[in-house]
Amino acid sequence: MRLSLFLLIMTSPASATAAPSLPTGYHLIPGAVPLDSGPDGNSIVIDAPKGLIVVDTGRHPEHAQAVIDYARQQGKPIAAIVNSHWHLDHTTGNWDIRQAYPGVAIYASNALEGALVTFLADSKADAEKALADPKTTQSARDQILRGRSVLDHPERIKPNHIVVKSGKMAIAGRPLDVHLAKIAATEGDVWLYDPKTRVAVVGDLVVDIVPFMDSACPDGWSKALGEVAKVPFTVLIPGHGAVMSRADFAEWRTAYDNFVKCGHSTAGKKTCVDGWSRDAARFIDAAHKDYAREAADYYLETRLRSSAEEQQRFCRPLTAATWRKPA
């Protein structure tokens, strides 16, 4: 047994090193980034004196159900949700969980408010167009309708505990360091550090295959990664992808910073895409190689290489008055 394990380790390429294991009291319900439908973020379930804390609740009903099933199996109620950010692949499941556990406390920044009247208002308009198109498949329709239901009734997913600044908090009776990174992957990213277990839960400040920059201020995001690096975590759970060690995070952060730097430089676009694919290679599985390249190309186009004004779109609070629909 020992020998075969040894051989397995010795013969595995670096990319197959095992993810660090989570401490007792932590359970990961992995999200996914399918190539043919919207992603689900990772959900992290943390044991707490008053029940369970769930960080991020996914998009699809199956994902939210897996979270609820796990809680039932544990025989503990979901006492609190923490949303790392407002993206619907991390918040839509709030509604499923709230229906199962109506007293659930939901912690998040207030960034959803600005997003609802800007980015998400545009998403809703796009959803209406897709629904009107007879070519839209039934499964795509189901997905769109689920997203629209929470956009039509945002109170279903809204926080009832707004995180306004970083500090120590007791969530469901468990002491945690709650961090608020303003103007990063979104206008308000919440991430957690648990000093007891030295686990950091960072939402989409880390996404294995490619940083999702749809609503990002790339330089603010870089600063937030610097804040994460300052805490003495040993295990880090990203918004998408496998659990990381400190060394993994450092490598991913370098890849991120190189990509942004390349984006701001005069280097050819292909150089920057190649750079990301190379620097982050260890975090990109074979199935997502092309996806990561296409996404990197798209974010160069829309965020890092767009007009000076467009580059600043998400580097200030989102308001209906200042929002212009992207071209």
- Residue 197 in contact with residue 233, Cβ under 8 Å? no
Instruction: Give the binding-site size for Zn ion (rule: CB under 5 A).
Output: 5
Which stretch in 13-21, 89-97, 160-168, 310-318 sits in contact with Zn ion by CB under 5 A? 89-97
Tokens 């467009």 found at: 310
Which stretch in 58-66, 124-132, 214-222, 236-244 sits in contact with Zn ion by CB under 5 A? 236-244
Tokens 């150089």 found at: 271
Which stretch in 37-45, 65-73, 280-288, 305-313 sits in contact with Zn ion by CB under 5 A? 37-45
Nearest approach in angstroms of CB 156 to Zn ion is 19
Q: Which of 215, 246, 220, 168 is nearest to 314 (CA)?
A: 215
According to the binding rule CB under 5 A, does residue 208 interact with Zn ion?
no
Residues between 186 and 205 that touch Zn ion (CB under 5 A): 204
Q: Which of 234, 37, 269 is nearest to 147 (CA)?
A: 37
Q: Which is nearer to Zn ion, 32 or 169 (CB)?
A: 32
Q: Would you give the DSSP letter of residue 208?
A: S
Nearest approach in angstroms of CB 256 to Zn ion is 15
Nearest approach in angstroms of CB 41 to Zn ion is 4
Question: For the stretch 90-121, what's the b/e string if a residue is b when 16 or more beta carbons lie within 10 angstroms of its beta carbon?
Answer: bbbbbbbbbebbeebbbbbbbbbbbbbebbbe
Q: Which is nearer to Zn ion, 87 or 288 (CB)?
A: 87
Cα 70 versus chain centre, distance = 21
Question: For the stretch 40-77, what's the b/e string if a residue is b when 16 or more beta carbons lie within 10 angstroms of its beta carbon?
Answer: bbbbbbbebeebbbbbbbbbbeebbebbbebbeeeebb
According to the binding rule CB under 5 A, does residue 40 interact with Zn ion?
no
Q: Which of 327, 323, 315 is nearest to 121 (CA)?
A: 323
The CB-nearest residue to Zn ion is 41
- Spatial distance between the Cα atoms of 7 and 88, rounded to a whole number of angstroms: 42
According to the binding rule CB under 5 A, does residue 89 interact with Zn ion?
yes
Which stretch in 68-76, 98-106, 185-193, 237-245 sits in contact with Zn ion by CB under 5 A? 237-245
Q: Which is nearer to Zn ion, 51 or 241 (CB)?
A: 241
Among 20, 38, 41, 114, the residue binding Zn ion under the rule CB under 5 A is 41
Nearest approach in angstroms of CB 40 to Zn ion is 8
Nearest approach in angstroms of CB 90 to Zn ion is 6
**Identity (one letter) of the amino acid at 55?**
V
Where on the chain is the footprint of Zn ion (CB under 5 A)?
Answer: 41, 87, 89, 204, 239
